[in-house]
Structure formats: C-alpha cells, structure tokens
Amino acid sequence: MGMLSRTDEMILLAVWRLGDNAYGVTIAEMLTQTSGKKWVLGAVYVPLERLEKKKYLSSCLGQSTRKRGGRSKRLYRLTKDGLDVLIKTKTQEKLIWANITISSLEKGYDA
C-alpha cells in the first residue's frame, strides 16, 4: 500500500464524509467546501477513476432523478483498502506533525 497524494486523500475523505450519497456533483461540492478552492466536475473524474482502479473505491449505479435528465448517478463507496489507506495516512500524518504547531513553525525551529 503506497502513499496517497493530497488530491487522492481529499477525495477519499470526501467520499467517506458523504456516506451513501457520494457521486460526482456532491463530491465536487464537498471538496469545494473543505478545501476552500472551487472544484469542477472535470477535476474529480480522473482521480475518482484512478482510485477505483487502485481498489480504494468501489462504485455502483444509483437511482436517477428528473433533475439529472433521467440519468443515473455513479455512487462511490470506500473499500476496505480505502479505509485502511486512510487510517494509515492519518497515523502517518500524526507522526509527521507530532509536536509541531503553527506557532512553532513561525518561530522557525523545532521547539
């Protein structure tokens, strides 16, 4: 299990947060909310497909609504691997950031 890129990490988290309602539009919205940067649909498809290929995500066709012109949603869900890699990333991050605060960063040395 390799390292996650920042984009992948954000997307996996977004899918996790959305639970049963994770598909293109909601994922892009969630990412926009959590990252403070505007995410468009075009930007999420490629990483989503890549993560699915890596087996961190699985997808299935969901129901369709009138608002979508009768087209179904592609719903994403974290796999066991996906969950593991997130846990690993979080552990790693904790280690990397151990004892480092913003103020210590500003001071410029390891306090």
Partner 1 sequence: MMHKIKEPQPSRFSQWLIKRIFKDEGETKIGDFIEIYSTLAEEKKQLQARLRFWGYLIRSIPEYFRDSLCIGGTMFKNYLKIALRNIKRNKGYSFINIAGLSVGLTCCILILLYVRYELSYDKYHENADNIYRVVMKQPGNVYMGNEWFNVGPGGLKSTLMEEYPEVIYSTRARPEGGYIYYNNNIFEERSIFFVDPEFFKIFSFPLISGDPETAVKKPFSMLITQRIAKKYFGNEDPVGKIINVEKKYDFEVRGVLDNCPENSHFTFDILASFNSLYTLYGGKDRIETWDSGNSGWNTYIQLRENFNPLDLESKFPAMAKKYRGEDYKGEFHLQSLTSIHLHSNINFEIEANGDIRHIYIFSAIAFFIMLIACLNYMNLATARAASRFKEIGVRKVIGAGRRHLIRQFLGESMIFTTAALLISLILVSLLLPSFGSFINRNLENNIFSDFPILIYLVCIALFVGAISGSYPALYMSALKPVNVIKGSLSTGSVRKKSSAFRNSLVVVQFVISIVMIICTLTVFRQLNFIKNSKLGFTKDHIITGYLHDSNLRENLEPFKNDLSQYPRINDVYINGALPVTIGSNNRAKWEGLAEGEKGPLTYMGFVNYNFLDFFNIELIEGRNFSKEFSTDISQAIILNEKAVEVTGWENPIGKKFRVWDWGVVIGVIKNFHNTSLHLKVEPMALHLTRPNRSSGYFAVKISSDDIPGTLAFIENKFKEYCPGYPFNYSFLDERIDRMYRSEQRLGQIFNYFTLIAIFISCLGLFGLASFTAEQRTREIGIRKVLGASISGILMLISREFVKWVLAANVIAIPIAYIAMNRWLQNFAYRIPIGIWTFVISVAMALMIALISVSYQSIKAATANPVDSLRYE
Interface contacts to partner 1, rule CB under 8 A: 23-25, 40-43, 45-46, 61, 64-74
Q: How far apart are CA 44 and CA 50, in angstroms?
A: 10
Cβ of residue 93: shortest distance to partner 1, in angstroms? 25
Report in angstroms the alpha-carbon separations of 66 from 1, 40, 47, 76, 100. Answer: 40, 22, 27, 21, 50
Q: Which of 17, 74 has the CB closer to partner 1?
A: 74
Task: With beta carbons less than 8 A apart as the criterion, state whether 72 and 61 touch.
Answer: yes
Q: Which of 23, 56 has the CB closer to partner 1?
A: 23
Q: Which of 72, 101 has the CB closer to partner 1?
A: 72
